Structure 1
Amino acid sequence: MTNAQTTEISEPSPRETIANLIASIVSEPERYALFFDIDGTLLDLAETPDAIKVPEGLTDDLIALSAHLNGALALVTGRALSYADTLFSPHRFPIAGLHGTERRLLDGNIIRAEPTAEFLEVKQRLATLPESFPGVLVEDKGAAVAVHFRQVPELANHVGEAMRVAIAKVGAGYTLQHGKMVLEIRPDNADKGGALEAYLAEPPFAGRIPIAFGDDVTDEAMFKLVNAKGGKSIHIGAPTDSTIARKRLSRPQAVRDMIASIVRKRLY
């Protein structure tokens, strides 16, 4: 990591720099378990979910980092697990999808919640929302549904009202999740913090210091869990962003640079 990249980091707690953390992961990989959000953290955000791209070399770097950690690396995302797999195909990382509603274990087994009939009916109705509000994008995630309004931010209030009506019709067992220019209805029995806690109870994650990277309000549950366990929480974004994370990187490229730095130092 260059000096220019290091200066992008704002540290609320300056006792340990990102450079020191890189050195620790390189020299003592058995101590750490790493958890990465995907959109806005590993990958740059785009106007639509399907427009997000994986930079060349990132998948290989993640595979190498996972091997260095003896498998103690997982992706934790609001995306469906199946979609996340298409990004990093053909490799299959341990992934908690839909904020932890579905979770792949290291051995490949998947634990997931099944949607209710009420939810499926509401999801079908929401699919017609763009007819009334052009520019709004409805993302069917299987056990969850998200409505994006990044391209039409002036429709935020209309989308919010539609989703409040929808969540009332779904009934018990679901929650309305707010994100960056998106509202999502998902099962309420899981969040990203719970997903991390489940991983940390299993090998090879158990007994390690958790390090979590995220950029959105949904990642705050990860940061809360990691902070409580004495781990490292790293927010991706501007210094003005509100977060309980204790460290900060400016943008996804800085995260990718950090991963590459660990991998290169490990090799040499």
Structure 2
Amino acid sequence: MSEPTGAEDAPPALNAAQDALFLDFDGCLVEIAPRPDAIIIPKELGKTLTRLSERLGGALAIVSGRSLPELETYLAGFDGPMVGSHGAESRGLGQEAVRPEGLADLQQAMEDFCAENGLLYEPKSLGGGLHYRAKPELQLLTERFAAELTTRFPGFEVQLAKMAVELRPGGVSKDRALEMLSHIAPFTGRRPVYAGDDVTDEPALAWAEAHGGFGVKVGDGATAASHRLAAPAQVRTWLAAALEDC
């Protein structure tokens, strides 16, 4: 991974003939909400993505930590490729979902922990999230519990996120998802452009930078990306401009 930077430059305009665009969801296309189910979906977002995908010759994919069924619901109107659960499941790519043993027991343990400690449990199709946004003082307790779970359920790994700790299938990540996509038409041979906001996105941002493209960090924080936008609203403006300029 590239060394973190203080990137401040806005990204250049997308090139329809040469770019492959990969977009995170939460914190990138939509603003972070107090609860994962409280996000506000901008009107026509799915249709806007479909139009942009057409301009890019189909080389646009969503790459998110969200479960695939949630992405399909929230981005109704977009029929392009999607990668969910940090790369463990996908749509339109012919890939089998990664489903380690013990998923139901893992999820029950996570739900019980959150109930006991007043935290928010986020069920996911192939894992789960422990959100401590309402109780930041429980960060270390939450991280320790998640680490303990990986000893009981070795098919899963800890994924740190903004005010949350996730358990996801082992061996998957967003940069691996980009690597896989780069070998599939229509992404093959195009310049990779990735936008994301979280620590979970840093490997993918670094991958894009290292493979002839560029990353766009959304929001604050050190990053491997060479470009930055302040918030999802600016990302959507950048994408809308691409529809006019591509």
Aligned-partner Cα distance in 1 for 2:19–2:108: 42
2:117 to 133, 136, 146: 133
Structure 2: 5+ residue stretches without partners:
1-6
Q: Indicate the residue corresponding to 1:194 in structure 2.
A: 176
1:242 to 198, 222, 231: 222
User: For the pair shown, which has the larger CA radius of gyration, 1 or 2?
Assistant: 1
Compute the RMSD of aligned alpha carbons: 1.6
SS of 2:107's partner is helix
SS of 2:207's partner is helix
1:235–1:249 contact (8 Å) kept in structure 2:
yes
Residue 209 (str. 1) matches residue 191 (str. 2): yes
Q: Indicate the residue corresponding to 1:230 in structure 2.
A: 212
Q: Indicate the residue corresponding to 1:153 in structure 2.
A: 136
Aligned-partner Cα distance in 2 for 1:100–1:126: 21
Number of aligned residues: 240
Q: Which residue type is aligned with residue 22 of structure 2? A: F
Structure 1: 5+ residue stretches without partners:
1-8, 12-16
Q: Indicate the residue corresponding to 1:54 in structure 2.
A: 41
Off by >6 Å, runs of 4+ in structure 1: none
Residue 90 of structure 1 and its aligned partner are, at CA, apart by 4.2
Residue 88 of structure 1 and its aligned partner are, at CA, apart by 1.0
SS of 1:103's partner is strand
Identical positions, percent:
33
SS of 1:60's partner is helix
Residue 187 of structure 1 and its aligned partner are, at CA, apart by 1.3
Residue 116 of structure 1 and its aligned partner are, at CA, apart by 0.5
Residue 166 (str. 1) matches residue 149 (str. 2): yes
Deviations 1:133-179 (A, max 9, x none): 11x111121211111111221221221222122122112x3211101
Q: Indicate the residue corresponding to 1:88 in structure 2.
A: 75
1:224–1:244 contact (8 Å) kept in structure 2:
yes
Residue 110 of structure 1 and its aligned partner are, at CA, apart by 4.6
Q: Indicate the residue corresponding to 1:252 in structure 2.
A: 232
Q: Which residue type is aligned with residue 37 of structure 2? A: D
Q: Name whichever of 119-128 and 61-70 sits farther off.
A: 119-128
Residue 227 of structure 1 and its aligned partner are, at CA, apart by 1.4
Superposition TM-score, scaled by structure 2 size: 0.92
Residue 121 (str. 1) matches residue 105 (str. 2): yes
Q: Indicate the residue corresponding to 1:97 in structure 2.
A: 84
- Name the structure with the higher helix share: 1
1:103–1:195 contact (8 Å) kept in structure 2:
no
Residue 115 of structure 1 and its aligned partner are, at CA, apart by 2.8
Q: Determine which structure has greater relative contact order: mean sequence separation of CA pairs < 8 Å that are 6+ residues apart, divided by chain length.
A: 2
SS of 2:189's partner is coil
Residue 265 of structure 1 and its aligned partner are, at CA, apart by 3.5
Q: Which residue type is aligned with residue 132 of structure 2? A: F
SS of 2:168's partner is strand
